[in-house]
Homo-oligomer: A and B are copies of this chain.
Amino acid sequence: MKIKEVHLKQYFTGAPSLEYFDIVSRDLPSPGEGEVRVQNLWLSVDPYMRPRMAGLKTYIDPFEIGKAMEGGAVGIIESSNHPKFKVGDHVLSMLGWREGYVSDGKGLTPVDTRLLPVETYLGLAGLTGFTAYVGLTRILDLKDGETIWISAGAGAVGCAAIQMAKAMGAHVIASAGGAEKCALLKELGCDGVIDYKAEDNLTAAVKREAPGGIDAYFENVGGAHLEAALNTLKPLGRIAACGMISRYNDDRAQPGPSNIINVVTKSLRMQGFIVTQHMDLQPRFIEALSTWMMKGQIKNHQTIYEGIERAPEAFMGLFSGSNTGKMVVKV
């Protein structure tokens, strides 16, 4: 069986470009004893993959050059010599960026497609939704009636966070770039919407939407967004630093927030987090998510690119803002 994989050709700084990726065809053998062969149906591309392409060791190792990259994927068992998996079962894995694979079953998680569409496990019910949940609950300790600003609101984590924050009773301000995305934010139920591309002064825009200041800031962007948050947070305000997508492609150091001293003068707390450090919250997350989805308070939003060849393009789209909701590739 012939499959295609996406390989990383070299580590790079600066903006991602097609030249750094190879589409490679190879033969996938039949599964051996105790193995399964899986055909991927959906692949996930996510901002956290960017540092792995720079050769930097952060909380996760860099990708290996000349091999299929890793990433979230859901697939279907196509052939099985493994007692735990049967043909037609759906499984979640970190073996994305490829049309299929042979596995001994380690790292494969069965998913129930009767409850949710299978691709949801890459988004709302997967690490994306869980990231939003951990950020709002454990990191921000968001309370009923508080005001939160969610940046990159039209992104995957943002869409999830907005709906969850509303369901938790918060007053939600969200920002995104462009009229189309801002229309989505309104649809999602935001109390205040900011098109940052149309604003000269982001601090003034946040003050306009939240005249009393904000209690919490869900940070996905960095740069001017972080500065505006530091300006508008109330004393004892909290920042959940989930990502800083505006900074991932910098090829040299950029000045940081010139008003970082607000952390001292307003006793702010700024905390970075990675969901894998908070897996103990997973059962509570699934329970909360099911309840919210059953009540219709939360819906899945995604942008779909079709074909494995378009996976690099989908990844690049994360940085040019071409997705609303979760960016996924349909294999």
Which residues of A approach B to under 8 Å, CB–CB? 51, 56, 58-59, 219, 222, 226, 235-236, 241-244, 247, 253-274, 277
Contacts and interface: CB of A to CB of B under 8 A. Distances in A.
A267 to B, nearest CB: 4
A51, A236, A242, A263: most-surrounded residue (chain B CB, <10 A): A263
Of A51, A219, A265, which is in contact with the most chain B CB atoms at under 10 Å from its CB?
A265
Given A247-B261, A261-B247, A59 B266 contact: yes
Nearest to A268: B272
Contacts of A260: 222, 226, 244, 256-257, 260
Contacts of A274: 267
Contacts of A243: 264
A246 to B, nearest CB: 10
B253 A256 contact: no
Nearest to A236: B277
Contacts of A222: 260-261
Of A261, A264, A271, A273, the most chain B CB neighbours within 10 A belong to A264
10 tightest Cβ-Cβ pairs between the two chains A and B: A256-B256, A255-B255, A253-B258, A256-B257, A256-B260, A263-B272, A58-B265, A269-B271, A264-B272, A267-B272
Nearest to A258: B253
Contacts of A59: 235, 265-267
Contacts of A271: 263, 267-271
Given A267-B277, A269-B271, A271-B269, A258 B255 contact: yes
A247 B260 CA distance: 10
Contacts of A242: 264
Nearest to A256: B256
B254 A258 contact: yes
Most chain B CB inside 10 Å of its own CB: which residue of A51, A219, A255? A255
A258 B59 CA distance: 20
Which of A59, A241, A255: most chain B CB closer than 10 A?
A241
A278 B235 CA distance: 14
Contacts of A256: 255-260
A269 B267 contact: no
13 contacts: A59-B267, A222-B260, A244-B260, A244-B261, A256-B256, A256-B257, A257-B260, A266-B272, A267-B273, A267-B274, A267-B277, A269-B270, A271-B271
A273 B226 CA distance: 19
Contacts of A254: 258
B241 A58 contact: no
A18 to B, nearest CB: 25
A269 B277 CA distance: 14
Nearest to A57: B265
A272 B277 contact: no
Contacts of A264: 219, 241-244, 272
A56 B262 CA distance: 12
A273 B238 CA distance: 12
Contacts of A244: 260-261, 264
Given A256-B260, A267-B271, 11 more contacts: A51-B265, A56-B265, A59-B266, A241-B263, A243-B264, A256-B256, A256-B259, A263-B272, A269-B269, A269-B271, A270-B271
